[in-house]
A and B are shown apart, each in its own frame.
Chain A
């Protein structure tokens, strides 16, 4: 089981596609930095392959003014939650 960190905005679909090809059941995806734009309700198409296994980092949502626009459509974790994910998943891959 792998924790995938992605920091690219959804305007870079090739990165999401590469991640989807590597993604296995039981893996988890954390949206950080500009990947938080993929958490917007209208941009979540790139997240379809990871349904139910995606979180977005709260601090990066807030710094981009996106926090209230995400609503309950996606799990949001804070930095402590990010750390917890790395406790649960012993391996991580960064996509950029």
Chain B
């Protein structure tokens, strides 16, 4: 068997919770691959929430070799194609050096590495996503 067809097929909104850092674990790749498969079934990833080491997915400075998969580009493409919100836990991000311009200025840091469409947000946004979306899946290392 390769796929099931439920009796009623309606578009669903999904939230994906990504705990895994890029490249070191498969979690981020698994989440991105699942997101792409969702679109083929008519569903939508409304929110991706990056938490714990998953916040490293938001670094705009990631520079993988050109002939390898770019997770950063993959997330941006997801945002462009599905309008997915790319939310980054601000507390987890600050600890790991993931700052947007406002946080970099606030903490006196010389550079910022989080840019739109990625947004630094609080855990409240994750709770909102849990209640407002049809499905929540966690991808962890």
What is A's interface to B at a CB cutoff of 8 Å? 5, 7, 32-33, 58-60, 75-88, 90, 92-94, 96
Contacts and interface: CB of A to CB of B under 8 A. Distances in A.
Nearest to A32: B30
Given A85-B4, A87-B12, A33 B37 contact: no
A86 B135 contact: yes
Contacts of B34: 79, 82-83
Interface of B: 1-6, 9, 12, 14, 19, 26-27, 30, 33-34, 36-38, 40-41, 43, 134-141
A7 B140 CA distance: 8
Contacts of B40: 80, 83
Contacts, number: 75
A82 B137 CA distance: 11
A11 to B, nearest CB: 16
Count chain B CB atoms within 10 A of each CB in A5, A84, A90 and give the residue with the most: A84
A93 B40 CA distance: 23
A81 to B, nearest CB: 4
18 contacts: A5-B137, A7-B26, A7-B27, A7-B140, A76-B2, A77-B2, A78-B3, A79-B36, A80-B3, A80-B40, A81-B2, A81-B4, A82-B34, A83-B34, A84-B3, A84-B5, A87-B6, A96-B141
Given A33-B27, A60-B30, A75-B1, 10 more contacts: A7-B30, A32-B30, A33-B30, A80-B41, A82-B34, A82-B37, A86-B12, A86-B137, A87-B12, A90-B134
